[in-house]
Structure 1
Amino acid sequence: MMNHGPRIFSYENSFDGLLCAFAAAEGEGLERCGFQSEGSGRPGLWPPTSVPVHAGTAAQFLERLRRAGGEGTVLHVMYVFLAEIRGAEPPLYEFARLTMQTGKIVLGMRTNAAVRRVMDWKSKVGKEAHRMTGLLRFMELQDGTLYARFEPDHNVLPLVTPHFQRRFPHENWVIHDQRRGLAIAWDGKKLHPVVGVPGNVDDLLSRREISFQRLWQEYVQAMAVPERHNPRLQRRFMPSRYWKHLVEQTV
């Protein structure tokens, strides 16, 4: 008998696409299988089964997951998707399938490898999102818009925007994930995706912003105590990969 190899489901690189792929695998009763996002550049030995995106299928799968494991379980699945970790789909599928099979929350099953990995990934994404709410630096542009840029390890842009909607509800602002080429703007009423953010926003800074940055840098230099300079301690509280977007670190 010919060996057709493991089942691999190819899905559109979106949250709905991933849920549809999980629904297709779960509908066939598969305990373990492979998943591959379209355009991921990960060709395998076995041709994948392409799964079309259907909003209704995704919503039904998510609701079944919510009924079985609660909102916390749904958040774990969403956070791991935003983690953008290569090879995360099989453990995440096993986590979702186990939840629906048992009909209860499985987050306490830390001895299960899939559950443990999903919880660890979710924690990393949550920690980075929380860190970014304190590290993002907004700059005033010439038209009065506030602009912030960052390059997070995970796709935390959807997770940080609600914080700044509450913090700056009456301002016009843009948060730009330069690593992924994604940006979201808030106009004081609703969010909008932004297409074509200028590459060099520094040329669009207001005079007040330029003056403020200069004063802030001078203040940081004046307050610094050379004898207490401790880069290792700095990296513990603020990883160096984030420094390039901090005004005080450009001096």
Structure 2
Amino acid sequence: MATYCFDGTLTGLLCCVFRAFRFQEFDVHITANPQSQHGLFDEFIVVSSQDVQGQRVWQGLKQKIQPGSLRQFYLCFLSEQEQAFQHLFDFCIYVFQHGHAVDGNYGHPAVLGMAQWAKQVGREKHRMEAFVRFKKCQDGLFLSLVRPDFNVLPLIERHFKARYQDQRWLIYDEQRDYGIYYDLDDVHQVQMNARQLDLQLGSGHSQAFSIELDAEEFLYDQLWKDYFHSVNIQARQNMKLHIQYVPKRYWRYMNEKSL
């Protein structure tokens, strides 16, 4: 069995599909990890990203599958999981080897697997839209540091641009070292070295960012905590149900959950 190693980009994955059909190699293991383990007699092939080849495969997919399946394909890719990459490769092989529409055949493991990963990424997108909290900085920038399970920043920028049109904001993914910045006109991707810098957000722990908070931010933070506790009915607390809807891994973003 051959192992195709690509650079982790969508174009790179599509180029793997292009190469598979070019050399008629369909029983292939897909990985984005150059250190991936492979069998002693397996062929390890590094597939370079080429825009022309990637576009040919993408345009072919657009002609063969429904728009909903194309979106599922993109969401599955944003999971950044090796298993998901394999499902996407196998899905492409399955689609292009059949003359009729097969993207609705959930009996095929690649079609089902792609849909399942897309569902998980979509769920993470909605939770980020619900649980992201901003801190106001001295220069008027509203900042939020996040660490989502999947790479969902490309999916949430439209939501936040529509919701916060009158203020500059930055949502920065600490795990992937990039963010989306809105400058009152457009949303841009930005990168900076966030690991070497510190910012005390007043929540009892240090966050990695060198930005001074607005003097009134701590007041608004406390006002929100007071409001949350005043409307909370202690006698009717159901922590098990609460955690089901608001998992603990999201509490780090929420002012009312900090001490």
TM-score w.r.t. structure 2 length?
0.88
Distance of 2:181 and 2:2 partners within structure 1? 41
Calculate the aligned-residue CA RMSD, in Å. 1.8
> Cα deviations across residues 177-235 of structure 1 (Å, max 9, x unaligned)?
12222212111222222222444262622122211001111122222222222221111
Distance of 2:200 and 2:157 partners within structure 1? 20
Equivalent residue in structure 1 for 2:152, among 156, 163, 166: 156
2:37 aligns with: 43
Distance of 2:76 and 2:105 partners within structure 1? 17
Distance of 1:133 and 1:247 partners within structure 2? 15
Does the 8 Å contact 2:4/2:46 carry over to 1?
Answer: yes
The size of the alignment, in residue pairs, is 245
> Cα deviations across residues 40-90 of structure 1 (Å, max 9, x unaligned)?
x42323351111111111111100011111322322221111111232222
Distance of 2:4 and 2:133 partners within structure 1? 40
Gaps in structure 1 of 5+ consecutive residues:
1-5
1:32 aligns with: 27
Does residue 246 (structure 1) correspond to residue 254 (structure 2)? The answer is yes
Does residue 85 (structure 1) correspond to residue 85 (structure 2)? The answer is no
SS at structure 2 position matched to 1:48: strand
2:205 aligns with: none
Does residue 113 (structure 1) correspond to residue 109 (structure 2)? The answer is yes
2:215 aligns with: 207
SS at structure 1 position matched to 2:157: helix
Does the 8 Å contact 2:30/2:89 carry over to 1?
Answer: no
Distance of 2:223 and 2:198 partners within structure 1? 25
SS at structure 2 position matched to 1:21: helix
1:8 aligns with: 3
Q: Runs of 4+ in structure 1 displaced over 6 angstroms?
A: none
**Which one-letter code corresponds to 1:44 in the other structure?**
H
Does residue 63 (structure 1) correspond to residue 71 (structure 2)? The answer is no
SS at structure 2 position matched to 1:176: strand
SS at structure 1 position matched to 2:159: helix
2:49 aligns with: 53
Shift of 1:105: 4.0
Greater CA drift, 21-30 or 10-19: 21-30
**Which one-letter code corresponds to 1:250 in the other structure?**
S
Q: Which structure dedicates a bigger proportion of its chain to helix?
A: 1
Equivalent residue in structure 1 for 2:173, among 170, 173, 177: 177
> Cα deviations across residues 71-126 of structure 1 (Å, max 9, x unaligned)?
22322221111111232222211211222223454332111111111111111111
| Paired-residue identity, % | 26
Q: 1:199 to 1:64 in 2, by over 3 A?
A: farther
Greater CA drift, 117-126 or 105-114: 105-114
2:95 aligns with: 99
1:23 aligns with: 18
Does the 8 Å contact 1:91/1:118 carry over to 2?
Answer: yes
TM-score w.r.t. structure 1 length?
0.90
Distance of 1:15 and 1:169 partners within structure 2? 30
Gaps in structure 2 of 5+ consecutive residues:
202-210
Distance of 2:66 and 2:256 partners within structure 1? 43
